[in-house]
Structure 1
Amino acid sequence: MTHITVVQCRLIAPESTLQHIWKMMAQQQTPLINQLLHDINTHPDINTWLTANQLPSKLVETLAQPLKTQSPYQGLPGRFITSAIILVKEMYASWFAIQTQKRLSLEGKKRFLTILKSDKQLIQDSQTDFLTLCYKAQQLLKRTQNKLKLDEPQHSEKAHWSIINALYPAYNNAKTPISRAAFALLIKNNGQVPDTPENPDYYQQRRKRKEIQIRRLEEQLKASLPKGRILDSKHWENTLKLAQTPITTIEEITSLQTQLLQKYSHLPFPVFYGTNTDLTWFKNPQGRICVKFNGLNQYPFQIACNKRQYPWFQRFFTDYQSYKSHKQQVPTGLMVLRSARLLWQPTNGQGEPWNTHHLSLHCAIDNDLWTISGIQQVKQQKILQTEQKIANFHSKALEKELTPNQQQRLKASQTSLNLLKTFDINEFFPSKCSLYQGSPDIILGVSIGLENPATIAIINISTQEILTYRTTKQLLSRTRKVRNKKPNSNNSNQSLSSAYKQISNYELFLQYQQQKHHNQHQRHNAQINDANNNYGEANLGLYLNRLLAKAILELAQQYQVSLIILPSLKNKRELIESEIRAKAELKYPGCKEKQDSYAKDYRTNVHQWSYQQLIKCIESKAAQIGIDTATGKQMNLETSQDQARNLVLNFCQKFSPTQV
């Protein structure tokens, strides 16, 4: 599995260079993209493509070819034109995907609405009473469950949707009125048999809500095709002048209103560099890392980034120097950098747009290629993939002669295979990241929970010995200096040291939880009063997740962990909900109303954590060090330590560490 993340930096260059880049992107490339979108949207065959839900494969290239020699696109670097073609294809692929999703959703809601009937109507159709209808529905539900032979527990989400999907064809194939009404009752009640008849008012409200959803989806499917970016105000001014002329139809009013309220982007489209050899990395006389781009070789840019991301750019430089020195021996597929985008970001400033925006570089990196062990693993994967690709070409050649394009691709694959097999990592990168050596018997498990977002257990699987446990409080025990918010105002000679105080990362964690709860309350009040509700925590949650990941990986290195087992988030909602319900039942046994109230308050106060983000941080940090990660199913046990221990033991029962 490839772990792709993005690092970014600001590009420093003279004002004349920034001005030239802005004008090329804003006055040439962005208008080119706008023109390509316009040509596609007004093409005579557009309706055929919309029906097919895709554009012809070479359409955008064909439309772009004659535009290259026309003003204002003449003189635009080839990489900018290629980037424009790629962006247009991405925009339409995304638009088609969204439209397909909405179309499927609309079909599903319409199908459900045709089945949705009141209990009174179902009783009339089946010519029976409510209890008999429920009994029949229970029989049909059990028959459906037995027919599916589900491996998953019946209460799991996967089993639930398998049952729901099986009920629709069963409804269509029902032969008797009572069976058809029973299936409709099950579909209406989400695959369950109701205990009591429904409230007629609730049924009417539910049907009305579904009709509104269908109507909104139908309007969204009529949405306009992808449009470009208008960087000046002339279009808006022309629309405003048009609005001052006499308007005779409602359609004209609606069209003008849409154009006047439309938010225009003031940023040009980015430039996409699809290969790592499109960027040239070097150091200036001052020792600073710099970069040049294909098509802009006369314009060097200096890298400006934070300490966290600087090692990645240092790695880009060393990778490129190795490739430059041994171009015929180093495969580019084993370099950390995969692709990059050149784009502008708004900032505070005055004057020309290239002074009020920062030029930034976003680089997509493969975390698996950070260490020597990762490079070796990726190398073996690429060798197998390339051999399979060559075998496919040979099998096609036995059936019929390969086309010139296929022959060219076969030759390129054979060259790549020879390069991969002869490539010696230690010869070309002797000083690259040291190979992490972990003990194959030492495994770390991470459990997620309510009070403790992360709890770990480190186990020696050969002896079943628990080496250590760590809770969130213990993982965040490291202290830091922070500025004291309430200095002593009476003492004018207050020392600098008294203006700061020592707090632990766990205290920062508690402050974050309190701040989230406070902001949630503020947002609720602001929404009631129709006021601004922009309350946030300034990425403090991401920072704490990085601190947790760093502490976990430092402990893993200390104990020579070879594998980290992370919990699967597929059943996270069910796991958290069952834990809350268990606490509520222990707090108020036998009182359903108090249990529901307690569970609601508990969710508001405690369950405010991004577990997906935490796991991504752990995976990214582990990939940098060279520790493998795997996913297991977390059980709902009494303590978080038991959950972390059980996560490791259950995983080892299914797989041996050497199989991961």
Structure 2
Amino acid sequence: MSVITIQCRLVAEEDTLRTLWELMANKYTPFINELLVQLGQHPEFETWLKKGEVPKETIERINKSLSTQEPFAGQPGRFYTSAITLVKEIYKSWFTLQQRRLRQIEGKERWLKIFKSDIELQQESQCDLNIIRTKASEILNSCAEQLTQDKNQQSKKKGKNTKKNKNESSASTLMNLLFNLYETSDDCLYRCAIAYLIKNNCQVSYLEEEPEQYIKRRHRKEIEIERLRDKLKSRIPNGRDLTGKDWLSTLNKVNNEIPKDENEFKLWQKNLLKVHNSMPFTVDYRTNTDLDCLLGFLNKETNIQKIILCQMYCLKLALKEGLYSFIKYLFADVNSILDKSNELLELLQHSNNKHLIWQLYLMKLSLKSGLDTFIKYMYAKILNLIYKQCKYLVQFNGLKEELNSPEFYICCDKRQLHYFKRFYQDWQNWHHNEEKYSSGLFLLRSARLFWQERTGKGKPWQIHHLILQCSIDTRLLTKEGTEIVRLEKINQADKTISNMEKKGELSKNQLSRLKRELTTRQKLNHSFPDLPSKPLYQGKPNILVGVSLGLGKPVTLAVVDAANQKVLTYRNVKQLLGKKYNLLNRQQQQQQYFSHKRHKAQKDNAPNSFGESELGQYVDRLLANAIVAIAKTYSAGSIVLPKLRDMREIIQSEVQARAEEKIPGYKKGQQEYAKQYLISVHRWSYGRLIETIESQATQAGILIEISSQPSRGNLLDKARDLALFAYQERQLAIV
């Protein structure tokens, strides 16, 4: 399933936009702020933190009590539902961060407990350091053999990967294995040898330990733990202060009070430097039937207004071209420009059709100035406005009663217009025959309404843009893809109905749900008519595209015929990007510029949140499109991507190998070189790149496989081996 998001601007009457802004800014956003505060003060908050989730019943209970109080009362039901969902997701993500910090603290304290100097290890084991090293080498060899056996056994396992298998896989890393052996062993020498390996990153070091470096390393780890503890004390999720009241309150404290301690001073500084979001919270519409997609017709007055706008734009361009005679026209009356000897203009004057007079005069003056092509453009533009009378619009359930004019006109790019046209067709088919068609086959899956911040003068609803984001399932764009989705939903509905019927006696709510499932199952027998047809992609299962990720070159791929152990072609990042390869260097320069700018701002205790351009995301899309195109060219059955959790090890191995090659035998020099090299190269978002490739491949119908990328060899060899490993794992799973 590939879900993508499109967005458009919504245009409506000023009174409609004003009412919606006041509703979202004065009621909806303060309501979410109050929900966040009350949940953070709940007596069961610590229990929720351990579970990692806030019970929905608790949020609904607080919502029920707040919805009758001012200023939160009088909102549409969809707004309350959206607030509950949004608050639940906010706390879930916050709990996830807190749990992650707890695990990090636990792991670092565990490491710090084992971390001992060479002298301490010799005293504890009562053995010479060479004996500890010999024992460490034996343990390292036995662990490597055990990991190899475990990996082979897991590859031979049949069936799907369960959570248990994933946990076993994550626990089978060398470091975790050493920690487990340390805790289960009672032998003093054995434990000291393991501690020696853990301290030296799972390696046997024959260099003498420097006491100063040991102290610095231990102190650095203690600082890391302390910083994590400070983050753990962070307050509950904050709402949005649209009025700036909290910021002004903090500023007043800074001017009139003295901080009690350094922590309070840092808190004040953080509140003043923090970039606050001045836009209301988004409103989520999780049900696609909450939106009515209609076809609206523009009246004559709207057309005239748009023609006037075009004329003003024309005037601006004409002035830019140097037609200074237009300046005189700006201060002249329409009657003064008429030629009294022209009968046509006299008739137009008596008919009071000043707009047509304006156009004729403009064309006359433009012809005189030699702007023939510009006249053709303007004439076509005006004709387009006159004859294109219809426009897509949308209405939101819950807002129809709140707004006098609940229609919002959709303004989007031509590339996205066909999506909204399809929304309209789906809604029309379903609305005219709700008993026959299911809304589960709508191209539109969910929507989100929010305000996009803009700069300018005026009222907020005049300055900022109202944006509608829509998520769509790309499989539903075609008849063949819709059939796949329809069969999936039929199987799911049949399974649900069968499970409920097996229960025997059902409650009232269960009977109601069973009735809904039966109705949905009946509707799924019919698909929407007149859907575009496109054959499904059929690739060869023995052809795989291996994609390796690296530090200097983000992407390298190899197209492999795995059955014959043959490489069909290689592609590096320069070949993938082609003429747009320079964008990669530009992205690197932008990163270095913003990194330097952020560093200077941090030194001056100034705001350091600089918005970077979306150039990196654009390059990711170019790379993903090129990879998918090559996969189609060679009829590849799948694209193999590396595991994201292996990227840190891959990058460190690549940098270390490069440092050893440049400065052999000098450890400190290698570390300095690695540090400078990491600064000079780009810091690519591999997670975003992998997500983009997955999205593009899924839309094209190409299977995605995940495998472990080798840590040794060049990027071409890594891409080839990645594809071969994935094919071998697939074959072992079949056996």
- The TM-score bracket by the shorter chain reads 0.7 to 0.9
Partners of 1:440 and 1:562 within 8 A in 2: yes
Partners of 1:278 and 1:293 within 8 A in 2: yes
Q: Which moved more, 1:132-141 or 1:458-467?
A: 458-467
Partners of 2:287 and 2:445 within 8 A in 1: yes
**1:328 and 2:435 are equivalent in the alignment:** yes
Q: Distance in 2 between matches of 1:79 and 1:333?
A: 19
Rg comparison, structure with higher value: 2
- Rate the CA distance shift 1:575–1:309 in 2: closer, same or farther, 3 A: farther
**1:231 and 2:305 are equivalent in the alignment:** no
Root mean square deviation of aligned Cα: 4.2
The CA deviation at 1:273 is: 1.0
Q: Distance in 1 between matches of 2:431 and 2:197?
A: 66
SS at match of 1:328: coil
Question: Which residue number in structure 2 is paired with residue 80 of structure 1?
Answer: 79
The CA deviation at 1:26 is: 0.7
**1:411 and 2:518 are equivalent in the alignment:** no
The CA deviation at 1:624 is: 3.6
Question: Which residue number in structure 1 is paired with residue 450 of structure 2?
Answer: 343
The CA deviation at 1:27 is: 0.5
Question: Which residue number in structure 2 is paired with residue 20 of structure 1?
Answer: 19
Q: Which moved more, 1:567-576 or 1:208-217?
A: 567-576
- Match for 1:376 among 483, 486, 511? 483
Question: Which residue number in structure 2 is paired with residue 284 of structure 1?
Answer: 296
- Rate the CA distance shift 1:138–1:566 in 2: closer, same or farther, 3 A: closer
Per the normalisation by structure 1, the TM-score is 0.79
- Match for 1:188 among 182, 186, 199? 199
- Rate the CA distance shift 1:254–1:10 in 2: closer, same or farther, 3 A: same
The CA deviation at 1:23 is: 0.4
Q: Distance in 2 between matches of 1:252 and 1:511?
A: 40
Q: Distance in 1 between matches of 2:587 and 2:4?
A: 26
The CA deviation at 1:510 is: 5.3
Q: Which amino acid aligns with 2:97?
A: I
SS at match of 2:54: coil
- Rate the CA distance shift 1:376–1:16 in 2: closer, same or farther, 3 A: same
Partners of 2:556 and 2:571 within 8 A in 1: yes
Q: Which moved more, 1:353-362 or 1:159-168?
A: 159-168
Question: Which residue number in structure 1 is paired with residue 616 of structure 2?
Answer: 541
Matches within 5 A, 1:115-194: 115-146=114-145, 150-152=149-151, 162-194=173-205
Partners of 2:588 and 2:682 within 8 A in 1: no
Q: Which amino acid aligns with 1:432?
A: P
Q: Distance in 2 between matches of 1:531 and 1:225?
A: 24
- Rate the CA distance shift 1:649–1:94 in 2: closer, same or farther, 3 A: closer
Q: Distance in 2 between matches of 1:229 and 1:319?
A: 37
Q: Distance in 2 between matches of 1:635 and 1:259?
A: 43
**1:432 and 2:532 are equivalent in the alignment:** yes
- Rate the CA distance shift 1:289–1:448 in 2: closer, same or farther, 3 A: farther
Per the normalisation by structure 2, the TM-score is 0.72
SS at match of 1:183: helix
Q: Distance in 1 between matches of 2:124 and 2:660?
A: 41
Question: Which residue number in structure 2 is paired with residue 617 of structure 1?
Answer: 692
Q: Distance in 2 between matches of 1:148 and 1:641?
A: 26
Partners of 1:441 and 1:460 within 8 A in 2: no
Q: Distance in 1 between matches of 2:4 and 2:568?
A: 32
- Match for 2:470 among 363, 382, 393? 363
Q: Distance in 2 between matches of 1:469 and 1:177?
A: 52
The CA deviation at 1:314 is: 3.3
Partners of 2:545 and 2:636 within 8 A in 1: no
Partners of 1:565 and 1:632 within 8 A in 2: no
The CA deviation at 1:442 is: 8.6
- Match for 1:563 among 628, 631, 637? 637
Q: Distance in 2 between matches of 1:141 and 1:248?
A: 54
Give unpaired runs (5+ residues) of structure 1.
Answer: 478-503
Question: Which residue number in structure 1 is paired with residue 424 of structure 2?
Answer: 317
The CA deviation at 1:474 is: 4.5
The CA deviation at 1:568 is: 1.9
Question: Which residue number in structure 1 is paired with residue 397 of structure 2?
Answer: 294
SS at match of 2:225: helix
The CA deviation at 1:219 is: 2.5
- Rate the CA distance shift 1:582–1:423 in 2: closer, same or farther, 3 A: farther
**1:266 and 2:370 are equivalent in the alignment:** no
Q: Distance in 1 between matches of 2:620 and 2:222?
A: 42
Question: Which residue number in structure 1 is paired with residue 62 of structure 2?
Answer: 63
Q: Distance in 2 between matches of 1:231 and 1:554?
A: 46
Q: Which amino acid aligns with 1:190?
A: N
Give unpaired runs (5+ residues) of structure 2.
Answer: 153-167, 298-388
Question: Which residue number in structure 1 is paired with residue 102 of structure 2?
Answer: 103
- Rate the CA distance shift 1:460–1:180 in 2: closer, same or farther, 3 A: closer
The CA deviation at 1:392 is: 3.6
Partners of 1:274 and 1:339 within 8 A in 2: yes
Partners of 1:137 and 1:183 within 8 A in 2: yes
Partners of 1:446 and 1:454 within 8 A in 2: no
SS at match of 2:408: strand
The CA deviation at 1:276 is: 1.2
Q: Distance in 2 between matches of 1:83 and 1:448?
A: 41
Larger relative contact order, structure 1 or 2 (CA cutoff 8 Å, min sep 6): 2
Partners of 1:566 and 1:615 within 8 A in 2: no
- Rate the CA distance shift 1:9–1:576 in 2: closer, same or farther, 3 A: same
Q: Distance in 2 between matches of 1:442 and 1:173?
A: 45
Question: Which residue number in structure 2 is paired with residue 485 of structure 1?
Answer: none
Q: Distance in 1 between matches of 2:222 and 2:61?
A: 43
Q: Distance in 1 between matches of 2:9 and 2:460?
A: 16
Q: Distance in 1 between matches of 2:478 and 2:186?
A: 63
Q: Which amino acid aligns with 1:292?
A: Q
Q: Distance in 2 between matches of 1:461 and 1:374?
A: 29
- Rate the CA distance shift 1:13–1:45 in 2: closer, same or farther, 3 A: same
Partners of 1:289 and 1:303 within 8 A in 2: yes
Q: Distance in 1 between matches of 2:223 and 2:715?
A: 44
Deviations 1:586-615, CA, capped at 9 Å, x for gaps: 888889899878777766666655454444
Deviations 1:596-646, CA, capped at 9 Å, x for gaps: 787777666666554544443343334444444444555689776666666
Question: Which residue number in structure 2 is paired with residue 490 of structure 1?
Answer: none
Partners of 1:239 and 1:259 within 8 A in 2: no
SS at match of 1:69: coil
Q: Distance in 2 between matches of 1:67 and 1:518?
A: 48
Partners of 1:337 and 1:365 within 8 A in 2: yes
SS at match of 1:354: helix
- Rate the CA distance shift 1:468–1:219 in 2: closer, same or farther, 3 A: closer
The CA deviation at 1:386 is: 3.3
The CA deviation at 1:569 is: 4.0
Question: Which residue number in structure 2 is paired with residue 31 of structure 1?
Answer: 30
Partners of 2:250 and 2:268 within 8 A in 1: no
SS at match of 1:230: coil
The CA deviation at 1:655 is: 4.6
Question: Which residue number in structure 1 is paired with residue 211 of structure 2?
Answer: 200
Partners of 1:367 and 1:620 within 8 A in 2: no
- Match for 1:306 among 413, 418, 437? 413
Partners of 1:457 and 1:466 within 8 A in 2: yes
Question: Which residue number in structure 1 is paired with residue 334 of structure 2?
Answer: none
Q: Distance in 2 between matches of 1:307 and 1:187?
A: 58
